[in-house]
Amino acid sequence: MSWIRIPKAFNAKLPKSRRDLASAMRNAVREGRPPARGTNRSEDFGRARYMPDQEKKIADLRRALRAHPCHGCSEREDHARWAERWWKLRHETDGLIRQIQGRTNTIAKTFDRVCDVLAVYGYLQTSDAAMSPSARTASACAASTAKKTY
C-alpha cells in the first residue's frame, strides 16, 4: 500500500491525465512509499490486515466444498451451465411478465378509474337499479350498436 498526491489540474475525462495518474500510482507502489504520517490508513482497509481465523475458516470451507457429493460429478460443469442459463432465463421471463402485466388492460383500468371519479361526483350511476327503464333500453341499444360496429 502506498500513497500519491493527485494534482489539482487532474481531469479524469482526459486519457493523458488518466495515464499519467496510473503511471504515478504504479511508481509509488514499486518504490514502496509509506502512507502519509499521522494516518492509520491500513485500518481503513479490512482486507489488508492479516486475520488467521479467517484463513482457517476459508480452508475449512474449501475442504467442505471438495467433500460435497456434487464435486465428484463428472458432468458438474454442464449442470452449472444449465443452472446459470435457467436463472438467466427466469430473470428475463419475470421481467417480461412484469412488463406485460403493466401494459395489460390499461385502457380498461383507465376507464374504470374515470367511471369511479364520475360516480363519486354524481355524474354516473353505477347500478342498473338506479337507471330508469328508458335509460336501460338506450344503454342496451348503444351496447348492441357498439358490438356491431366492431
The pLDDT tens digits for 9-42 are: 899 999 999 999 999 988 888 887 776 665 555 5
Which of 21-35, 46-60, 116-130, 135-149 is predicted least confidently? Answer: 135-149
Q: What is the pLDDT of residue 3?
A: 78
The answer, yes or no, to whether residue 82 has pLDDT greater than 60, is yes
Q: In sequence order, what are the residues at sequence separation of 6 or more whose Cβ sits closer than 8 angstroms to the Cβ of residue 41? A: 1, 3, 35
pLDDT over 70 at 136, yes or no: no
Note the pTM of the prediction, 2 decimals.
0.36
Cα–Cα dist 47/105, whole Å: 53
**Euclidean distance between the first and final Cα of the chain, in Å?**
75
Burial class (CB in 10 A: 0-12, 13-18, 19+), 24: middle
Provide the residue ranges of all domains of the chain, joining segments of one domain with +.
1-39, 82-125
Q: Which residue has the higher pLDDT, 118 or 52?
A: 118
Compute the distance between CA of residue 20 and CA of residue 17 in angstroms, rounded to an integer.
Answer: 5
